[in-house]
Structure 1
Amino acid sequence: MKKTKHTFILLLVVLGIVSCGERKNSLATEYLIDIHSLYQNGKYEAALQKIDSIQILFPKAFQEIKDALALKQEVRRASDEKQINNCDSLIVAYQPKIDSIKKLFTYRKEKEDDYGVYIPKTISGNTPNVNTLRSGVNDNGSMYIESVYIGGQIHNSIKVNTKDGKFAETLPIEGDGFVFRFNHMGKQYEIVQATSVHDNGLANFIFAYADSPLTVTLKGKNTTSFALPNIQKKAIADSYQLSRLMLQKDSLATAKDKAQMRIKYLNAKRDSIPVVLPSSLQEKK
């Protein structure tokens, strides 16, 4: 009697395990169906996330895992094709804006220079005769703000503040290529150039508060302050807009190139050609 009872209990346990296994496989199948549905509805990132998790959730659902991994390459391809189309649309939208704002600038490039610079027409004249800020945008979209001080002061940072105490200040600026000192027409000039390395939010701050009174403080061995005229504020704000548009367009072009390279890699992999995808093009996880 006792043996029969033990056998009955063991049978119930086995049936429970089988039932549980079937239930897990059923859930894995439903999970795979959800992945297909996400893929078919263009929700590629969500589909990829589910594919990456199916092996963890259902480690013994071998067929479902195999099917999901096989689908993964097609989801990636579709995701990259969508990204290429999106990039093309946005690039087309950005270009007229860039062309329009470039009309506010003068383009300069000397023979010995590696790149040209877009200078706001309103401040593109000769050497200034007062302390000021001026700006420009390089061919690659990077922006700079430079302070011009006339006199003997040595400064290495630029601070701009509003009347109510809000401010932005560059990091310390030192070294050849960023600090220029010279004499011109009997006056001593000091020009300190803040690039994206030193900017520390200065350009964005001036852009955000271009309609407010702003005070510039040049800090160094001595301190000099002056009001920033509207013409300079607008020139810097225009430079900031041009830089942002150019950088965004360049970022889109880079994203498109990477997507195209990944598709090329996936095609080669599908055709069993041993191609190694550069780490810089691999999708971040």
Structure 2
Amino acid sequence: MKTVAVIAHRKKSLGGGLDELRRLISEEDVGELLWYEVPKSRKAPKKAREAVDEGAELIFVWGGDGTVQRCVDALAGSDVPIAVVPAGTANLLAQNLDIPHDLPEAVRIGFHGRHRRLDLGRLNGEHFAVMAGAGLDAQMIADADGGLKERLGKLAYLWTGLRHVGGSAIRMKIKIDGVKWFDGEASCVLLGNVGTITGGVRAFDDARPDDGWLEVGVATAASGLEWMRLLTTMSTGRSDRSPFVRITRARKVRVKLAAPRTYELDGGARDTARVLRAEVVPGGVTVCVPG
């Protein structure tokens, strides 16, 4: 019988809600159930650490990518497996790991799925499991987080993206494992641990979350037409075949921006920074995945 913890963003919803989650867990062989609800994702790390201190052997995280990222950051290096319950807007980590938007199945995977050790990225001292970046994507996310995402869902990203196309280019200097790789104007830089981004688009076709590498991409598209061509290529073929993209891999990345910009981690906006320092953390977290 296991000690199981639930960390739930109470404003998120899936299936029959948190009452159904509690019922489904109670049908398993659980000794003690630790239950934590938070009003914001930033409150989740404290509860994640508390759950570990209380002896949790399995932690369910109910929420979107922001809540999952906050818990992953707190649990990095721990052996306690995380069971993702995709109750958010994009749910990109769940999507990339084939965890369905289905509450009973997500719970079943948590108890009876396979434990998979995944890499993490660490950007400016904070871990991420999906992607991080600066430029257009971070501006989109920052604008959508102002309540627009709750009203429009995934359409919020499209709306805010259209607002920023054409005005997001900035001079960037990027070093890959200590070697200069890019120096020029770019709309965004993206660091990926997985391949698929919002809308099911493959940003990094060869990404794997357990290969010990971070994918690094720079988009130089500036106008609306160039972004349309880029997104069409990403949707119908390989991203690296677009003339508006450069992609490589790295274990360490340093990005210097011409001016401070907002950056994002797994869909969560952070304060502005002029220098981004990132590295891969091999096998940084254990996640329950379909068997």
Q: TM-score range by the shorter chain?
A: under 0.3
The structure with the largest strand share of the pair is 2
- Which structure's CA Rg is the greater one? 1
Greater relative contact order: 1 or 2 (C-alpha under 8 angstroms, separation 6 or more)?
A: 2
The structure with the largest helix share of the pair is 1
Normalised TM-score (structure 1): 0.22
Normalised TM-score (structure 2): 0.22
